[in-house]
Amino acid sequence: MSDRLVVAFAGHPGSGKTAASEHAANNYGLDYYSPGELIRAEARAQGRRLDSRAAGMILLHEIEASRGSDFLANPILQGTGAMVVDGLRRMYELNLLRNAPDVRFRLVAIQTPIEDRHIWVVKNQNERSGRDSTDFETFQADTLAEARSSDPMEPSVDEVMEQADFTIYNSHGADLLTAVDEVIQRIKAENS
């Protein structure tokens, strides 16, 4: 039996992970999984608001305390088809996936300048809520807070990205999807 392909995209908020993941899912027959959406769905089920990244991490830690530390990784590890993961942020999940039996895991980092990411996030917030709720200084502080952690259960986005098999440099143009195509084609060609 051949190993099941799992491709994960890593990057800071607004880097293009969702666009890349959705493109890979829609064009290469990969199942789509978003750990962030799993947390947001749990918040909705509990009637909780996630008004900050910190609130999301608090909820995740509560869930992991009651359901196990593999909560975010289980949908990936228990999957049966090839999969794309929209957003890998912690070393814990990275190590689980790198060592999972019967999984051919590839990590793709998306590097995007912080100024471009901030513009993208504010634009998306404006479209969703009609208001600009993230000033640049707050966005920059949030990015730094998630950049590195000695605790594998906390976000350490920079450390995860340093472990990438492939890196895409994104400035929010059509080049992102072209780069995703090139990377996915290279990954698929590895075993042919």
**Beta carbons within 10 angstroms of residue 105's beta carbon:** 21
Among residues 22, 17, 32, which one has the least CA distance to residue 84? 32
State residue 1's pLDDT score: 46
6-26 residue pLDDT tens: 999 999 999 999 999 999 999
Name the residue ranges covered by the structural domains of the chain.
Answer: 4-189
State residue 23's pLDDT score: 97
**C-alpha–C-alpha distance, residues 131 and 19, integer Å:** 22
**C-alpha–C-alpha distance, residues 48 and 81, integer Å:** 32
120-140 residue pLDDT tens: 888 877 665 554 567 899 899
152-181 residue pLDDT tens: 999 999 999 999 999 999 986 669 999 999
State residue 28's pLDDT score: 96
CATH of domain 4-189: 3.40.50.300
Residue 60's pLDDT band (boundaries 50, 70, 90)?
Answer: very high
Instruction: Tell me the whole-structure pTM to 2 decimals.
Output: 0.93
- Please say whether the beta carbons of 186 and 171 come within 8 A: no
Among residues 18, 50, 51, which one has the least CA distance to residue 35? 18
